[in-house]
Amino acid sequence: MKLVFVTGTDTDVGKTHVAAALTRAWDANYWKPIQTGTTSDPGDTTTVQTLTRLPNARFCRPQVELEYPLSPWRASLKEGLVPVKVSDIEIPDEFNISPRPLVIEGAGGLMVPINEKEIMTDLIIKFKSPVILVARSGLGTLNHTLLSIEHLRYKGVRDIYVVFNGPLNKDNQEAVEAFAPDVKILACIPPCENGIEGLVEYIPSIEFLRV
């Protein structure tokens, strides 16, 4: 099974919209293992299903659903729950046996705590999956993007791809390529007001990935 893990450099970088575009472009399954903030938000699974208009069978509910819009660790504690361990998070059986690719969306960014000892990057390491790092295209993105890449390298993750989300900025794209020549730019996605319909054409075939 081909799988990818979608994460972001920051809040509101468009991670969920990019995950939806990837799911649609690759005719993939989608899974978000951990969802927080369920009291105030329908959740990213619902959002992706609405955007892609794919059948229900392409989606599974998150393994962990938490009420408060906090990190999984802090949200669990606030609900009086024992925080989940990375070792307890497993890909749903129906996706393990599916011939389709699987798009996994993380909760927040790489350093978001899952519990008092583990962060989202540890989940990436467990799944041994390529990482698609969603980043803003504009001012300030170089620091966030290169720091995220440096963190992944430090953790031993080498299969990294970047999606720039926003108005085309060739300078920032070339800067990332210069400072991280081993990282590929998967796509540069412009602003789109019509859901993901205009985004899918910017996504290359999944064969572009080393999976």
Contacts of 152-155 with CB under 8 Å at 24 or more apart are 152/110, 152/121, 152/124, 155/121, 155/124, 155/125
Q: What is the pLDDT of residue 58?
A: 98
| Residue pLDDT, tens place only, 13-25 | 999 999 999 999 9
**H-assigned helices in 128-208:** 141-154, 170-179
Q: What is the pLDDT of residue 55?
A: 97
Q: What is the pLDDT of residue 12?
A: 87
Residue in the structure block whose two tokens are 């972001």:
8
Total-model pTM = 0.95
Residue 84's SS3 state is coil
Count of structural domains within the chain: 1
Token output for 21: 């575009």
Q: What is the pLDDT of residue 154?
A: 98
Q: Which domain holds residue 110?
A: 3-208
Active site residue 78: no
Angle between helices 170-179 and 141-154 (to 10 degrees): 30
Q: What is the pLDDT of residue 211?
A: 60
Catalytic hit among 2, 32, 126, 170: 32
Regions of the chain short of the pLDDT cut 50: none
- CA dist 8 and 175 (Å) reads 18
- At 166, which CATH number? 3.40.50.300
